[in-house]
Structure 1
């Protein structure tokens, strides 16, 4: 069974990033015949979860023009142990911004190139509280990732 790992760096059970991660997980589960959807807080996930994943979705709030420290911590803990084992792993990104979000997007993309992961969708940038349209976009992104895994697109 294929595994879609959704890592969120927001507050568990609360917050805008968590709401978007949950919406993406719902979309992926709607498409999930044959895809296991794993929604993990970034601080609790590690190299084992990363190596078990067939695709990734990172969801982070913007903090001081950068990704949340929880997501950076995940990258710090998994980068060297995952070297040579995750090249080309497909990923997508959702950023919840209080500012313009571009610093957070750029930072995640730069680190992702170092693994090297493969971007398979444009980043979804949400400014402030997610609207119903933005929650639907997150659900569609989760559905697209699950569909891509099922169809063998990535």
Structure 2
């Protein structure tokens, strides 16, 4: 069975709604053969990443950057996972109150350094997530799981 790891820093009700939608999409009954595991960014580590076949990353945009928790996650896993996870598929969702350009740039720089492969462009939501935003989160989770299932 393939394993999809959701690494998230869920700091608000808006991010919680997005996380739940992503997890629901990744866990849909329509996609078989994928185990979904969720870990907070401050507790996820290299073993979690090495045991995963793909990842979904979730973060708030804080002062134009990814959260310190997600940056800490990357700091912890970078060298232990550098060679072993090349071409690992990933997806990402970000939530902020404004411009996410710096957070997107950081995410791209780090994942490019790891050699990971985006299954779609990161999903960015500003303000309170609308129904369409939560549907996009569900689709992001489903797409990440489908990628692992070979669909």
Task: Tell whether the structures are fold-level matches, with TM greater than 0.5.
Answer: yes
Q: Distance in 2 between the 1:32 and 1:49 partners?
A: 22
Match of 1:22 in 2: 20
- In 1, are the aligned partners of 2:10 and 2:19 still within 8 Å (CA)? no
Q: Kindly indicate whether residue 4 of structure 2 is the aligned counterpart of residue 4 of structure 1.
A: yes
- In 2, are the aligned partners of 1:5 and 1:56 still within 8 Å (CA)? yes
1:67-106 matches, within 5 Å, as 67-106=66-105
The residue matched to 1:37 in structure 2 has which SS? strand
Q: Could you list the runs of 5+ residues in structure 2 that have no partner in the other structure?
A: none
Q: Could you list the runs of 5+ residues in structure 1 that have no partner in the other structure?
A: none
Moved over 3 A (4+): none
The residue matched to 2:109 in structure 1 has which SS? helix
Cα deviation, residue 40, structure 1: 1.2
Cα deviation, residue 86, structure 1: 0.3
Q: Distance in 2 between the 1:102 and 1:18 partners?
A: 22
Q: What is the root-mean-square deviation in Å for CA atoms of aligned residues?
A: 1.2
Match of 1:34 in 2: 33
- Number of matched residues? 150
- CA deviations on 1:1-46 (whole Å, 9 max, x unpaired) are 10111111122xx532232122111011114421000111110110
